[in-house]
C-alpha cells in the first residue's frame, strides 16, 4: 500500500468511516462446501438466512452496488457471495465502473466458470480463487469447481490462490509443501495466500485445528515462504497466527471493513464470517495481516495499534456528533 493510500484510509477512520467494504453480491452458489459460513443459519444474525434474502440481478444489481460504493466511498472493495461469478455479466459491467472510481477491487470466487479474458489486464483488480487443498480433497469438497475446471477457467489470467488450511490437512505431513509444489510453477498464479479455518464459538468440526496444528502451520509457513516466493505472506503476518485478536473489538480488520449482504442492505457483523465467530481461533489472512501492521512499533516503541485504536475512538465520537454548521462569523480574524 502506498503512503497516500494509508493517509486516505486513516482520514476515513478519523471521520468514523471504514476504508474497506465487502459485498455479497448474490445469494447463489453452485457449490456446497462443507463448513461454508455464508449459508449458516447464524450468518446474518439468526433471523433470515442468505438463501432467503432478496438479491438483485441485471442492471438493478449494477446500479445497487454502484449506489452503495458512491455512498460509502471505500478504498478497497471485496466482492464475494455466494459465488460472485454467478453474476458474471453484471460483473463485467460493474468492474470497469468501480476501477474508474479509483477503488481497488477484489473478487473472491471458486472459478467454477471461466474468468472474462479482459480481467487479466485490469490494474487494481485482484481475482482470488479459493482452492481448498490437494486435488482429491478439494474436488470432493468443492465440486463442480474441480481442479480440472479451475485450470481451464483461469487460463491466461493472473490470479491469487487462497487456501483455507483445515485440521484434516495438518494431519498429513508435507501437505502445504505439496500444495505449493503443484500450484506455484503455473504461470497464471501470481500469489498464494493461506488462511486457517475459523470456527464459530461452540462448533466442533474436523476442520478446526488443534493448538499444536496451529503452531505447526506457523513453523511450516515460515520455512515455505523462503522456498516459494509466490507465497505472499510476510513473516510478521505468519507469526501473528499465534496470537489472534481476543474479540471483534480487538480486530483491526473487523473495525476497518464493513460487510453487506446480497440485499445490499443487511450488515454482516462482526466480520465477514457473521454469526458468533471464535476470534481466538481465527486464522483469517486479512485479520492476521492487519494485526501484524498494528503490532509494528513506530520509532521502535509506539505501537501502530495504539494510534489506530485512538483514531477509531476519535472517529466514532466525531461521527456521533451533529454535523458542523458553517460558521457565520469567524471566531478569530487574523487578517483585517
Which alpha helices (H) appear in 159-234, and where do they start and end? 167-170, 175-183, 211-227
CB of residue 94 vs ligand SF4: minimum separation in angstroms? 19
Sheet holding 159-165, edge to edge: 189-196, 159-165, 125-130, 104-109, 76-80, 20-24, 257-260, 267-268
Under rule CB under 6 A, residue 315 binds ligand SF4? no
CB of residue 239 vs ligand SF4: minimum separation in angstroms? 16
- Residues 6 or more apart from 49 whose CB is under 8 A from it? 39, 40, 41, 43
> In the chain, which ranges are E strands?
20-24, 76-80, 104-109, 125-130, 159-165, 189-196, 257-260, 267-268, 297-298, 302-303
Q: Which grid cell is 171?
A: 494431519
Under rule CB under 6 A, residue 107 binds ligand SF4? no
Q: Considering the complex, state which of residue 34 and residue 173 has its C-beta at the smaller distance from ligand SF4.
A: 34
* DSSP letters for 78-107: EEESS-GGGGHHHHHHHHHHHHHTT-EEEE
Window of 99-107, 168-176, 201-209, 246-254 that interacts with ligand SF4 by CB under 6 A: 246-254
CB of residue 152 vs ligand SF4: minimum separation in angstroms? 17
At 48, which helix (H) or strand (E)?
none
CB of residue 132 vs ligand SF4: minimum separation in angstroms? 8
- Footprint of ligand SF4 on 15-34 (CB under 6 A): 29, 31-33
Q: Considering the complex, state which of residue 134 and residue 145 has its C-beta at the smaller distance from ligand SF4.
A: 145
**Residues 21/74, Cβ–Cβ less than 8 Å:** yes
CB of residue 197 vs ligand SF4: minimum separation in angstroms? 11
244, 275, 289, 315: which one binds ligand SF4 (CB under 6 A): 244
Distance of CA 218 to the CA centre of its chain: 20
Binding mask 267-306 for ligand SF4 (x = CB under 6 A): ---xx-x---x-x--x-x--x-------------------
Q: Considering the complex, state which of residue 19 and residue 245 has its C-beta at the smaller distance from ligand SF4.
A: 245
CB of residue 228 vs ligand SF4: minimum separation in angstroms? 25
- Residues 6 or more apart from 249 whose CB is under 8 A from it? 255
Q: Considering the complex, state which of residue 221 and residue 284 has its C-beta at the smaller distance from ligand SF4.
A: 284
Contacts with ligand SF4, residue ranges (CB under 6 A): 29, 31-33, 36, 38, 81-83, 110, 198, 244-245, 248, 251, 253-254, 270-271, 273, 277, 279, 282, 284, 287
Amino acid at each position: 500500500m502506498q503512503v497516500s493510500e494509508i493517509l486516505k484510509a486513516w482520514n476515513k477512520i478519523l471521520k468514523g468511516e471504514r476504508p474497506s467494504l465487502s459485498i455479497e453480491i448474490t445469494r447463489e452458489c453452485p457449490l456446497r462446501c462443507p463448513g461454508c459460513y455464508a449459508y449458516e443459519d447464524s450468518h446474518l444474525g439468526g433471523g433470515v438466512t442468505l438463501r432467503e434474502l432478496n438479491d438483485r440481478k441485471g442492471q438493478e444489481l449494477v446500479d445497487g452496488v454502484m449506489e452503495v460504493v458512491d455512498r460509502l466511498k471505500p478504498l478497497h472493495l471485496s466482492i464475494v457471495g455466494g459465488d460472485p461469478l454467478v453474476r458474471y455479466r453484471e460483473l463485467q459491467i460493474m468492474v470497469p465502473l468501480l476501477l474508474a472510481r479509483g477503488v481497488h477491487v477484489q473478487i473472491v470466487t471458486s472459478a467454477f466458470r471461466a474468468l472474462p479474458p479482459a480481467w487479466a489486464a485490469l490494474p487494481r483488480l485482484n481475482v482470488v480463487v479459493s482452492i481448498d487443498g490437494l486435488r482429491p480433497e478439494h474436488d470432493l469438497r468443492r465440486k463442480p469447481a474441480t481442479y480440472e475446471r479451475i485450470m481451464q477457467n483461469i487460463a491466461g489470467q493472473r490470479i491469487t490462490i487462497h487456501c483455507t488450511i483445515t485440521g484434516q490437512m495438518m494431519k498429513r505431513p508435507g501437505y502445504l509443501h505439496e500444495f505449493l509444489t503443484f500450484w506455484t510453477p503455473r504461470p497464471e498464479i501470481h500469489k498464494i495466500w493461506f488462511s486457517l479455518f475459523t470456527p464459530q464459538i461452540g462448533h466442533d468440526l474436523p476442520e478446526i485445528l488443534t493448538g499444536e496444528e496451529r503452531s505447526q502451520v506457523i513453523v511450516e509457513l515460515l520455512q515455505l515462504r523462503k522456498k516459494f516466493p509466490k507465497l505472499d505472506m510476510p513473516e510478521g503476518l505468519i507469526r501473528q497466527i499465534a496470537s489472534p485478536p481476543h474479540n471483534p473489538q480487538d480486530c483491526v480488520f473487523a473495525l476497518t471493513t464493513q460487510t453487506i449482504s446480497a440485499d445490499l442492505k443487511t450488515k454482516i457483523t462482526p466480520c465477514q464470517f457473521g454469526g458468533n465467530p471464535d476470534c481466538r481461533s481465527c486464522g483469517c489472512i486479512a485479520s492476521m495481516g492487519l494485526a501484524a501492521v498494528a503490532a509494528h512499533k513506530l520509532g521502535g516503541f509506539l505501537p501502530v495499534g495504539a494510534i489506530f485504536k485512538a483514531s477509531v475512538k476519535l472517529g466514532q465520537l466525531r461521527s456521533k456528533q451533529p454535523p458542523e454548521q458553517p460558521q457565520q462569523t469567524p471566531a478569530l480574524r487574523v487578517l483585517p
